[in-house]
């Protein structure tokens, strides 16, 4: 019986890290090479090709360490990308950082912080106070 291999073991030496980004070179070259061929042979319109080319970047918005609002947008855009291969294995992805104890604010907390910031920085009209 054939032994199952971990994908990361198969790509040993074929992927590299640039800061928090990991690039699987063979898949990335194949992916963008296919996009380039589709453009060269005019198989797809440029706006659709741009969406297809952006899919790996859109998938990075759904990183576990991103804020909930960023992950929401990432998942929303991933849903848009599903019909054009958005469920495929990532060619470019963010890697896990060493500190997994970071606190993630909720959308409600982010909204409260924004409202507080806006109220604090709002200019008062002359002769009126915030308590009126």
pTM of the model: 0.55
What is residue 1's predicted lDDT score, i.e. its pLDDT?
42
Total domains in the fold of the chain? 1
- Looking at residue 17, the DSSP 8-state letter turns out to be E
26 lies in some domain: yes
- For residue 22, what are the domain limits? 7-98
Strands 21-24 and 15-18 come out as antiparallel
Identify the bridge partners of residue 15 per DSSP, sorted by sequence position.
Answer: 24
Whole-angstrom distance, CA of residue 11 vs CA of residue 103: 32
- pLDDT value at 60 more than 50: yes
- Here the tokens at position 48 are 């659709």
> Residue 86 falls within a domain, yes or no?
yes
Is residue 24, in this structure, part of any structural domain at all? yes
pLDDT at position 45 over 90: yes
**Tokens at residue 90, please?**
């990532």
Report yes or no on 127 lying in a domain.
no
């Amino acid at each position: 019986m054939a032994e199952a291999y971990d994908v990361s073991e198969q790509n040993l030496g074929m992927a590299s890290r640039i800061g928090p980004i990991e690039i699987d070179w063979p898949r990335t070259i194949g992916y963008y090479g296919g996009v380039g061929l589709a453009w060269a042979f005019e198989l797809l319109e440029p706006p659709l090709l741009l969406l297809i080319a952006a899919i790996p970047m859109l998938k990075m918005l759904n990183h576990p360490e991103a804020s909930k609002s960023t992950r929401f947008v990432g998942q929303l855009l991933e849903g848009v990308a599903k019909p054009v291969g958005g469920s495929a294995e990532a060619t470019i992805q963010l890697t896990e950082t060493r500190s997994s104890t970071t606190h993630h604010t909720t959308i409600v907390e982010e909204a409260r912080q924004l409202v507080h910031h806006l109220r604090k920085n709002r200019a008062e009209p002359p002769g009126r106070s915030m308590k009126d």
